[in-house]
């Protein structure tokens, strides 16, 4: 029993930088996706997950990574690239990386979902990772610079506390917003015109990562020289944070509608 409790203890001591979008952000992505599933995909999700939902399983990959048997999944949550790439250079780098990362693992888990030879348990695990990794793909600093580990090495002070840019974007801004994931879902869904949703859903996964990389470039340029993030930061970046979570939710739904139908 002690061996199983230790990783959970470490989980609560771990820095926020290990939780992309935090629990509320990921759950908002899952809940937005649930609202945009078609009938066939919804039925297949229920068959695979049973009493669980996309909302609740969205954090599962973060929760298991602290156990020794899942240690290898740590690098699956991000894909870092060199700074200053244009689109063609970035896409070449993204598709050329061979070590497991958020992009190529997402592709692998989508193949697992489509594979009739996979068991229901294997497909269930694959679905949980797809839900989570689509969320990760839309957090800008999960597609940040390799040189600073996606902003983890950029130390800043926010609301009087020491943190880093990666942690700030994982959870700091969402926490400042002060909404539960159900409140985020309701508020964010109200602000998504159908035409905009359809436009967002037409893009491929590699484009999601490119968008995040572009956003990360802006975020890097906005780091104050003294590292002190003041009260103007949240209102200046709240719209980007909201849009990335909205996009992740509706794109996850489109992906599952295609794969599971």
15 domain residue, yes or no: no
Q: Which of 140, 46, 156 is nearest to 102 (CA)?
A: 140
Q: Which of 248, 206, 237, 243 is nearest to 79 (CA)?
A: 206
Mean local confidence (pLDDT), 163-191: 95
57 domain residue, yes or no: yes
- Residue 134: CA atoms inside 13 Å, Cβ hemisphere, count? 33
Helix axes 181-190, 233-260, angle to 10 degrees: 90
148 domain residue, yes or no: yes
- Max Cα separation, the chain? 55
Question: The domain containing residue 56 runs over which residues?
Answer: 24-260
Mean local confidence (pLDDT), 189-203: 95
Q: What are phi and psi of 171, to 5 degrees?
A: -140, -25
- Euclidean distance between CA atoms 253 and 127, whole angstroms: 12
Which residues face 204 on adjacent strands?
none
245 domain residue, yes or no: yes
Mean local confidence (pLDDT), 136-154: 97
Q: Beta strands 161-164 and 155-158: pairing type?
A: antiparallel
Per-residue confidence (pLDDT) for residue 3, from 0 to 100 = 37
Is 14 or 136 the better-scoring residue by pLDDT? Answer: 136
Handedness of CA 82, 86, 87, 91 (dihedral sign): negative
* Residue 5 pLDDT greater than 50, yes or no: no
Mean pLDDT score across all residues of the chain: 92
Residue with the two structure tokens 């996850």: 252
pLDDT tens for 21-78 read 899 999 999 999 999 999 999 999 999 999 999 999 999 999 999 899 999 999 999 9
- Euclidean distance between CA atoms 236 and 140, whole angstroms: 15
8 domain residue, yes or no: no
- Residue 11's pLDDT band, with cuts at 50, 70 and 90, is very low
Q: Which of 22, 20, 115 is nearest to 75 (CA)?
A: 20
- Euclidean distance between CA atoms 85 and 88, whole angstroms: 8
> What Cα–Cα distance (Å) separates residue 59 from each residue in 87, 121, 122, 124, 260?
30, 18, 17, 14, 21
183 domain residue, yes or no: yes
- Can you give the pTM of this predicted structure? 0.92
Mean local confidence (pLDDT), 205-217: 98
For the chain, percent of residues with pLDDT exceeding 90: 91
Mean local confidence (pLDDT), 123-151: 98
- Residue 17's pLDDT band, with cuts at 50, 70 and 90, is very low
3 domain residue, yes or no: no
Query: How many independent structural domains does the chain possess?
Result: 1
Q: Beta strands 228-229 and 161-164: pairing type?
A: unpaired
Per-residue confidence (pLDDT) for residue 97, from 0 to 100 = 97
Tell me if residue 163 falls in helix, strand or coil: strand
6 domain residue, yes or no: no
CATH number at residue 90: 1.10.575.10
Per-residue confidence (pLDDT) for residue 19, from 0 to 100 = 61
pLDDT tens for 98-133 read 999 999 999 999 999 999 999 999 999 999 999 999
- Residue 20's pLDDT band, with cuts at 50, 70 and 90, is confident
- Euclidean distance between CA atoms 175 and 235, whole angstroms: 13
């Amino acid at each position: 029993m002690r061996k199983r409790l230790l990783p959970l203890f470490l989980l609560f001591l771990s820095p926020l930088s290990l939780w992309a979008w935090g629990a509320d952000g990921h759950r908002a992505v899952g809940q937005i996706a649930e609202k945009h599933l078609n009938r066939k995909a919804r039925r297949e999700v229920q068959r695979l997950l049973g009493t669980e939902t996309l909302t609740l399983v969205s954090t599962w990959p973060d929760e298991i990574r602290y156990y020794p048997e899942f240690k290898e999944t740590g690098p699956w949550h991000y894909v870092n690239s060199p700074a200053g790439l244009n689109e063609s250079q970035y896409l070449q780098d993204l598709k050329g990386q061979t070590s497991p990362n958020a992009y190529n693992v997402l592709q692998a888990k989508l193949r697992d979902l489509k594979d009739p030879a996979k068991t229901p348990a294997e497909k269930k695990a694959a679905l949980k990772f797809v839900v989570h990794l689509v969320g990760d793909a839309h957090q800008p600093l999960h597609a940040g610079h390799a040189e600073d580990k996606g902003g983890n090495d950029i130390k800043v002070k926010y609301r009087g506390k020491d943190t880093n840019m990666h942690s700030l974007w994982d959870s700091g801004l969402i926490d400042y917003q002060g909404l539960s994931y159900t409140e985020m879902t309701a508020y964010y869904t109200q602000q998504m015109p159908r035409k905009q949703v359809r436009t967002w859903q037409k893009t491929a996964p590699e484009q999601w990562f490119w968008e995040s990389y572009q956003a990360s470039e802006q975020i890097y340029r906005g780091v104050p020289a003294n590292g002190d993030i003041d009260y103007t930061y949240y209102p200046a970046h709240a719209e980007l944070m909201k849009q990335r979570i909205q996009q992740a939710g509706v794109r996850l739904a489109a992906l599952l509608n295609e794969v599971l139908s």
